[in-house]
Amino acid sequence: MSSNSIRKVITASSVGTMIEWYDFYIFGSLAPIIATQFFPKENPTAAFLATLAAFGVGFVIRPFGAIVFGRLGDIVGRKYTFLLTLLIMGGSTFAIGLIPNYDTIGIFAPIIVFVLRALQGLALGGEYGGAAIYVAEHAPAGQKGYFTSFIQTTATIGLFISLAVILACKALMTAEQFSEWGWRIPFLISILLVIISYYIRTKMEESPVFKELKAQGKTSKNPLKESFGKWPNLKLVLIALFGATAGQGVVWYTGQFYAMNFCIKNLNIDSAQIQWMLIPVLLLGTPLFIVFARLSDKYGRKWIILTGLALASLSYMSLYKGMAAQADYKTWELRERNVIQGADQQISGYYYDYTHGGSMIEKFEYSKTEKGKIIKTTNTITLPFKNIFMIGLFIFLQLIFVCMAYGPIAAFLVELFPPEIRYTSLSLPYHIGNGVFGGLTPLIAESVVVSTGNIFSGLWYPIIVAGTTAVLGVFMIKEKTKKHLL
- Report whether pLDDT(376) > 70: no
**This model's pTM is above 0.75:** yes
Give the separation between CA 91 and CA 353, rounded to whole angstroms.
45
State phi, psi for 402 to the nearest 5 degrees: -60, -45
What would the pLDDT profile of 220-266 be if each residue is shown by its tens digit?
778 888 888 889 899 999 999 999 999 999 999 999 889 988 998 88
Band (82; pLDDT cuts 50, 70, 90): confident
- Indicate the class that CATH gives domain 3-329+383-484: mainly alpha
Which of 70-74, 263-267, 276-280 has the lowest average pLDDT?
A: 70-74
pLDDT per position as a tens digit, 407-465: 999 999 999 988 888 888 888 898 899 888 998 898 899 889 888 888 899 999 999 99
Residue 314 has pLDDT above 80, yes or no: yes
How confident is the model at residue 481, as a pLDDT? 58
CA distances to 19, 279, 313, 442, 475 from 62, rounded to whole Å, are 17, 27, 25, 16, 28
| 174-229 confidence digits (pLDDT tens) | 988 998 899 999 999 888 888 888 887 787 777 777 778 777 777 777 888 888 88
pLDDT band with cut points at 50, 70 and 90 for residue 297 = very high
In angstroms, what CA-CA distances link 167 with 31, 163, 172, 396? Answer: 14, 6, 9, 20
pLDDT of residue 145: 92
Return the pLDDT at 347: 39
- Separation CA 345–CA 226 (nearest Å): 65
CA angle 59, 253, 336 (to 5 degrees): 135
Say if CB 72 and CB 124 are below 8 A apart.
no
Q: Which residues of 380-396 are buried (b: 16+ CB within 10 A; e: fewer)?
A: ebebeeebbebbbebbb
Closest Cα to residue 465, out of 427, 438, 430? 438
Domain limits, the chain: 3-329+383-484, 332-379
Which positions ≥6 away from 70 have C-beta within 8 Å? 126, 129, 223, 423, 424, 425, 426, 427, 428
Arithmetic mean of pLDDT over the chain: 82
Distances (CA, A) of 61 to 47, 99, 221, 251, 413: 21, 21, 25, 20, 20
Dist. CA 437–CA 455, nearest whole Å: 20
- Tell me the one-letter amino acid at 63: P
Residue 332 has pLDDT above 70, yes or no: no
Q: Is the C-alpha dihedral spanning 246, 73, 58, 282 positive or negative?
A: positive
Got the DSSP string for 70-138?
Answer: HHHHHHT-HHHHHHHHHHHHHHHHHHHTT---HHHHTTHHHHHHHHHHHHHHHHHHHHHHHHHHHHHTT
Q: Please give the helix or strand (H or E) that residue 376 lies within, else none.
A: strand 374-379
